[in-house]
Amino acid sequence: MFEIEIRGLVKRLGGRTILRGIELTIEQGETLAVLGPSGSGKSTLLRCINALTPFDAGQIRVGDIVLRPGKVPRDVAIQVRRQLGMVFQDFALFPHLRAIDNVALGPRLVLGLTKEQARHRAVQLLQRVGLQHRAEAFPAQLSGGEKQRVAIARALAMEPKGLLCDEITSALDPELKWEVLSVLADLKKDGLTMVVVTHEVGFARRVADRLCILSDGQILEVGPPQQVLENPKTARVQQFLARVLT
Amino acid sequence: MDTGERLSPRARYGMLGFVVLTTPFLLTLGNPALGQSPTPSAPSDSGSGLPPLRWGADAEGGAPYIFYDPERPEQLIGFEVDLIRALERELGRRIEHQQYDFKKLVDGLERGDIDLAMNGLEITPDRQKRVRFSRPYYVFKLQLVTREGETEINSLRDCVEKQARVGTLENTAASRLLEQLRVPTFLYDSQVTPFEDLALGRLDAVLMDVPIVLYHGRNKPGLRLVEPLVSGRGYYAIAFRKDDEELARQFDVALERLLASGELRRIYETWGLWNASQEELYPPNQFGLELAREHTAPQSLEGWSFGSYFPLLLRAVWLTVELTVLSMAVAVVIGLIIAVCRLYGPYPLQLLALCYVEFFRGIPVLLLLYFLYFGLPAIGQVFGWDMALRWSPFVTAVLGLGLNYAAYEAEIYRAAISSIPRAQWEAAASLGLTPTQTFRYVILPQAIRIILPPSTTDFVALFKDTSLAGTITVVELSKQYQILSTSGADYRALVEIGVATALLYLLMAVPLGYLSRRLEERWHAGHLAEGRH
């Protein structure tokens, strides 16, 4: 049973407290959308889960791997990252590698696949995000939407059990967002566990199983999208949603 | 046009500054200050009313001819200084010393910078075409010096047969003789360093004018003067401009009087330079130009053609290329190590790397070359590992240039590597790559695109800096030019050689510069389009 369990997570940075005791469980196959104003700690939450940044108190469990406060030992970090793929707002593709090699690099170096096996897997994944015809293109030759889909394929190539998406459509023009979001919708159908930090309320309503509103390092509300969006319990959530929805 | 030449005064400067610290023997060289220094105790101007004459001579490492007194470094001494004083008295006219590079003395006369040149200047047919020589004032022979315990070499013939490595001063009777005999010759522009190299085992023998040997070789432990002297002789004379016939005549007469009065002999005896050969200066031998012409017939460069010197230049080109490529290889490897230490090493290592960069960027390459070439073996001798630290000139040049350029490369690499966005590290980490894998497969390949253009520029700079290797006897292109251009070739040949040398440099440097710009354009375009995360 693969789930992500977060208990009493506290993260401080330079005298500021970014996360103030987060309690959250993401179940296997669930898609959780995280909404919140900028600076609310959404990205930091993802980075803590993926061991990209250490935290100060609490505990995170990813499958059977447990992260504790303080510097994460390298082997533990690598184990966590093997289970979780991550997609970034600014794509972070490797600009010196063709699309296919961006996807094949991880399997080759980390999973120990041969070059042929890795490229074979890369082609399949590019197909899955609808980009098999762009396999030989360099990142600089791809549109924003295409770049982000390559980045998703790159994360999937490690065969993760979960996927962390950090505002992956924020850097895209509106007409390109749908192509990335529809890829996520497909992945949900395949049963991938996902934590999606986003500003796309429409996407959250249609695709997410649950919606989590984060503000000032605290969870204000968690629940089914319908319920949270239409009957928010607190005034702060109402205010935030009013701003986002208009 | 005169690239190599420009370096040499600086060269000797640096060396003196350094060597004086390491080898007490060299303290005798004293202060290499440049510029005018009036001859001490000039006689009262006996009413002549004429301006003082300017005497061109090179006081840097110029013992026993003219050099700074080690006891009183502001004071010039030497047998030629004594002779000038005697001439001042004879002529009743002040003569001021003007510091002048030995190899440029004839040019200096022609330019009018000096009125006479007297600096162990040997009468040669080539020089006679350009200047008016006085009667000779010294007859010199050549003497071979080798190491104590070296039993194989007892004559110049042995050097020829055993193909011994022989050091000498460039463009002298000795260098021409060695060249004619096809002995492996190492050319120096300092009188001191050949003896140093001989003692260190880089040379098997040194062949030089007797006065130099008497002064520098005699008291140096571990060296042996080979008797008898090399047969044949040369004449030192004072050079004047051809149109200064009247002045030259006055000096001829004055010299004759000094000779007749025994004053000249007294001066030479003071310096331990008197020997039987000097009898030749006396009548009835009718010393003078005829005699000189008869006995000194060094190879004239007249009729030198493109075909005769171009192979020499090409050989030097090859050496220059080798030197550049190998030095750059050293610089790249060490530079990368230093850059990685500075970026990712533990604090003490970071500090060490920073020290390396600041140190090697801060000291002149020339000084570094001298340190490695002369200083390290000297230090090594103290600790008993002198053999290990005694590198050949070529190896020394590669290491010296490599170590220096490594500091510049390290900074380029560091800047390039740290300019790769953090997101690249995180993206690689989130795929499960280790930091080492990330560096090798993600960061470095991107950094190289940033590194290559400035690195290529450095490569071109290094290529030109190889000319410094000429100062430690590596005959690369500039040194070869320098040797050819001071070999007494006429102006036409000089211009030809200069143009050919410059063209060879350009032929190698321009394509590199073009390549660098091309790379920059191509990679820069690609990178900017990516929008730099």
Most distant pair of Cα atoms in chain B: their distance: 99
State residue B41's pLDDT score: 45
State residue B68's pLDDT score: 82
Quickly list H helices, chain A: 42-49, 74-83, 99-109, 115-128, 144-156, 174-189, 201-207, 225-230, 235-245
Q: Give B231 or B148, the one with higher predicted confidence.
A: B148
Binned at pLDDT 50, 70 and 90, residue B304 comes out as low
- Taking the C-alpha atoms of residue B198 and residue B528, their distance in angstroms, rounded to an integer, is 58
- Taking the C-alpha atoms of residue A176 and residue B244, their distance in angstroms, rounded to an integer, is 91
State residue A60's pLDDT score: 96
Question: Could you tell me the pTM of the whole model?
Answer: 0.69
The pLDDT of B247-259, averaged and rounded, is 90
**A78 close to B (CB below 8 A):** yes
Quickly list H helices, B271-392: 289-295, 306-344, 347-362, 365-370, 376-383, 386-389
pLDDT single digits (tens) B174-209: 888 888 888 888 888 878 888 888 888 889 999 998
Binned at pLDDT 50, 70 and 90, residue A46 comes out as very high
Q: Give B63 or A51, the one with higher predicted confidence.
A: A51
- Taking the C-alpha atoms of residue A26 and residue A209, their distance in angstroms, rounded to an integer, is 10
State residue B386's pLDDT score: 60
The pLDDT of A38-49, averaged and rounded, is 91
Backbone CA torsion sign across A164, A166, A170, A172: negative
Closest CA to A122 of A109, A132, A112, A137: A132
State residue B3's pLDDT score: 38
CA atoms lying within 13 Å on the CB side of residue B387: 0
Q: Average pLDDT of chain B? A: 80
Q: How far is A22 from chain B (nearest CA, A)?
A: 22
* β-pair type (A193-197, A162-166): parallel
Binned at pLDDT 50, 70 and 90, residue A127 comes out as very high
Tokens coding B63: 């013992």
Q: How far is B320 from chain A (nearest CA, A)?
A: 35
Whether the Cβ atoms of residue A147 and residue A91 lie closer than 8 Å to each other: yes
Q: Average pLDDT of chain A? A: 92
pLDDT at B338 over 50: yes
- Taking the C-alpha atoms of residue B473 and residue B392, their distance in angstroms, rounded to an integer, is 10
Which of A103, A109, A152, A156 should we substitute to test contact with B (largest number of B Cβ atoms within 10 Å)? A109
Of B421, B432, B529, the CB nearest to A82: B432
Name the closest residue on chain A to residue B528, using Cα atoms. Answer: A140
Comparing A118-127, A156-165, B105-114, B482-491, the range with the smallest average pLDDT is B482-491
Q: Find residue B230's DSSP bridge partners.
A: B142
State residue B486's pLDDT score: 64
State residue A28's pLDDT score: 94
Name the percent of chain B lying above pLDDT 90.
28
pLDDT single digits (tens) A135-168: 999 999 999 999 999 999 999 999 999 999 999 9
State residue B525's pLDDT score: 54
Name the closest residue on chain A to residue B523, using Cα atoms. Answer: A96
Binned at pLDDT 50, 70 and 90, residue B306 comes out as low
pLDDT at B217 over 60: yes
Q: How far is B432 from chain A (nearest CA, A)?
A: 5
pLDDT single digits (tens) B432-451: 999 999 999 999 999 988 89
Interface ipTM: 0.92
- Taking CA atoms, A78 is separated from B371, B380, B434, in Å, by 49, 50, 8
CB pairs under 8 A between A and B: 70
Q: Which residues of A touch B423 (CB under 8 A)?
A: 88, 90, 92
Binned at pLDDT 50, 70 and 90, residue B378 comes out as confident
Q: Containing H/E element for B489?
A: none
pLDDT at B425 over 90: yes
Q: Containing H/E element for A198?
A: none
pLDDT at B297 over 70: no
Q: How far is A59 from chain B (nearest CA, A)?
A: 20
pLDDT single digits (tens) A8-32: 999 999 889 999 999 999 999 999 9
State residue A104's pLDDT score: 96
Backbone CA torsion sign across B304, B305, B308, B314: positive
* β-pair type (A162-166, A84-87): parallel
pLDDT single digits (tens) B32-58: 333 344 444 444 444 457 889 999 998
pLDDT at A131 over 50: yes
In DSSP notation, A49-63 reads HTTSS--SEEEEEET
**B171 close to A (CB below 8 A):** no
3-state secondary structure (DSSP) of residue A170: coil
